[in-house]
Structure 1
Amino acid sequence: MTDQPNFDVAIIGGSYAGLSAAMTLGRAHRNVVIIDSGRPCNRQTPHSHNLITHDGKTPAEISALAREQVLAYPTVRLHNALVTSVSGQDGAFSVGTSDGQSFEAKKLIFTTGIRDIMPEIPGFAESWGISAIHCPYCHGYEYSDARTGVLMNGEMALEYLKMIRNWTADLTLYTNGPATFDAVAREKMLAFGAEIVEQPITSLDHENGYLRALHFTDGSSRNIAALYHRPAFEQHCLLPEQLGCELNQQGFIKVDESQKTTVAGIYAAGDNSGTLRGLTSVMATGTVAGVRLNHELINEEY
C-alpha cells in the first residue's frame, strides 16, 4: 500500500450525489476523498432541467461548478481514477484505483450510478438522453406538443402513456413487436387518442442525437421528435455486491432511510439505490448520506 493519508470517508463516484455528500462532510470537517472515473451517465444530455438556479445548463457546467465549490473545503480531495478494488471492513477500508493508488478510509459511500441497457436498435444509443428520453419531468417540457413516441410493451404501457399524455396529445405507442397487454388496456389507450404500432423497429434516424424518423421491418417509416423509453439497467459498479451489499428486487442497492446499505460502514446514494434519477433527487440522497454518516462517526468517537 502506498503512503496515503487516512480518510474518514472515501466516496466512490464523483457526480451529483457524490459531490453533495462530499460538501456535507467537508462542512463537517471530515477528511474526504472523492474517487471518480469521469463517466457520468448523463454525459450525452445537452441540457439539465427541473433544477432551480441551474435550469437549462449543461450537466458538465453544473458538475464543474459543484466540484469547484466542494473542493474549496480544505479537507476534501478529488482523485481522478477508476476504483478497481475495495477490501476491509467498517473502520478500516482500503480502496485501490486503476492508476495504482490506494486509499484508507473508515467509511465508504458508493455513488456509482447505474448503466442503462440500450435496446439493440441502431441509432438509439446515440440519441439517448437527447431525444430518446426516460423522464418527462427532466425533458418533457422541451418536447411539449411534439410528435412523440413511447417505446414500451406489457402491462405498464398504459400507465406510462397516460403520464406522457400530459405533455403531448400527438402520442404513439411503439411495442416493437406484438402487443402483450390486454384488450381493456388497448381500448383505454385508443380512447385518449394514442395510436398503437406493433411493427418491429429496425433503426432510428437522427441528426446528432435528435430524432427524425423511425424505420420498420416492413419498409415503412414515421417521423418523430421524441421517444420515451425505460430501459433495463444494471449496477454500474459491481464492488458493492462483492462486498456483500444486498440488492432489492428491482436491482438497486438496498438502503435504509439513512442511505445505509446492508453492510456496516457502507452507504450508497444516487440512482444506484433509488428510482428517482432527477438531479435534485440524487443530490438529496447524497446530502442525507453525508449527514447520517457524520452522525455515525460522532457516535463512534464519543
Structure 2
Amino acid sequence: MDETGEASYAGQPFEVIVVGGGFAGTAAAINLARANRTVCLIDAGEPRNRNSDHMHGVIGLDGESPRELLSRGHSECLAYGGTLVEGRVSSLQRTAAEGWSVELESGERVTGSQVLVATGITDRLPQVPGLREMWGQRVFHCPYCHGYEVNGKSIGVVGGENPGFTTRISTLLTKWADSVTLHVNGMDLTTEQRDRLLDCGVQLSYDEVVQVSPDPTESLAVEMVTASGAVRYGTCFTGPEFLPNDHLLRQAGCAVADGWVQTAGGKTSEPGLWAVGNVVSSPDQVSQALGSGAGVAIAIDQYLFDRG
C-alpha cells in the first residue's frame, strides 16, 4: 500500500468491482472479464457451502467439490484479465466521480464505476451441540441438494430456528426418506402445520434435543440425544435462520423490504450498486447462483455500454 492508502494493484479505477468470490460473484466476474470489462473480484474465502465436500444438481459436475470448482473459476477470471484480491470489504463509499470506493479491512482501497455485492448468507443453526460441527457433512438443510443421497434412510429433523422452513422440508423429505421424525425442539407449531406434517407421515417428537453426534457405523448417520434417551438416524436435517450478509448494502442506503435488500434485475436502489446471489435470494443453489451471476453480469455490461 502506498502513502495515500491506495492498494498497489488499484491503478486506474475498475469498471466493475465484485465483492464476494462465491459462485454468483465469480460467475459474474468471469462474464464481465470476457466482455472486456476491467474487473476486480474481492474474495474473503468463505463461501456458504465451504463445509460441503460435494455439490449436486450442477450439470456435468454432480458430486464434485465446490471448493475445487471455485478455485478453477478464480483462475479463469484471472486468465480473462480480471484481478483477484483476497480480503474482506469493510465499507462502500461514493466517490466524487459518481463511482464507488471499496475499502478492505486491511485499509486498502479499490475504486470503480459499478459495484456488485455477492456476499451470500449466514445460516444460523439451532443451539444444539454437534449441529455446527457436522454442518454440511451429516447435517443438512436442503432436500434438493441432499435428498437423493439419503434415499431410503431414516431422517431426524431438528427444529428450533425457522419453523416455516423446517416444517416444509420435513414434509418434502418424505419423498426420499424411509421415515422422517421432526423433533419440534421448542417450535410453536400452528394447527395447520401440525396437521400437514401428520398428513405427510412425519412423526413428531416433543423431547428436547440436547446433543447430536456422528454415528461411526455409517457415513451420514447420527445419534440424537433427547431428554428421553438416544435415537439413531440415517442422517440429520435442520432449518436454519437465513441471515443475509447485506450490511454493506444497508450501510450504502439500499432499500429494504421484508428483511431483504430489494433489487430489480440485479440493480439496488442506489445508482451503480448491484447485488446477486444468496445476499438477496436465500434459496439459490450452486447452479442457480451461477446463472444469476452471469445474468447480472450481462445486465451490468449492457448498462455500461448504453451509458457510453
TM-aligned CA distance change 1:287 to 1:132, over 3 Å: same
Show the counterpart of 2:87. Answer: 81
| 1:202-236 CA-partner distances (Å, limit 9, x unpaired) | 01012699442111124x11101222222112232
Structure 1 unaligned segments of length 5 or more: list them.
none
Alignment check: 8 A CA contact 1:143 1:225 kept:
yes
SS in 1 for 2:256: coil
User: In 1, Cα distance between the equivalents of 2:14 and 2:268?
Assistant: 20
Alignment check: 8 A CA contact 1:127 1:210 kept:
no
Letter in 2 for 1:145: G
Pair 1:252 & 2:260 matched: yes
Show the counterpart of 1:202. Answer: 210
How much does 1:185 deviate? Answer: 4.6
Alignment check: 8 A CA contact 1:41 1:115 kept:
yes
Show the counterpart of 1:283. Answer: 290
Show the counterpart of 1:162. Answer: 171
Paired residues for 1:112-191 under 5 Å = 112-152=119-159, 154=163, 158-177=167-186, 180-182=189-191, 185-191=193-199
**Could you state the TM-score of these two structures normalised by the residue count of structure 2?**
0.89
RMSD over aligned Cα atoms:
2.1
Alignment check: 8 A CA contact 1:93 1:105 kept:
yes
Letter in 1 for 2:287: T
Paired residues for 1:1-302 under 5 Å = 1-2=5-6, 4-5=10-11, 6-74=13-81, 76-88=82-94, 91-152=98-159, 154=163, 158-177=167-186, 180-182=189-191, 185-206=193-214, 210-218=220-228, 220-249=229-258, 251-256=259-264, 258-301=265-308
SS in 2 for 1:56: coil
SS in 1 for 2:133: helix
TM-aligned CA distance change 1:300 to 1:174, over 3 Å: same
Structure 2 unaligned segments of length 5 or more: list them.
none
User: In 1, Cα distance between the equivalents of 2:67 and 2:251?
Assistant: 31
How much does 1:41 deviate? Answer: 1.6
Letter in 2 for 1:252: W
**Could you state the TM-score of these two structures normalised by the residue count of structure 1?**
0.91
The count of corresponding residues between Structure 1 and Structure 2 is 296
Letter in 1 for 2:62: D
Alignment check: 8 A CA contact 2:122 2:244 kept:
yes
TM-aligned CA distance change 1:68 to 1:192, over 3 Å: same
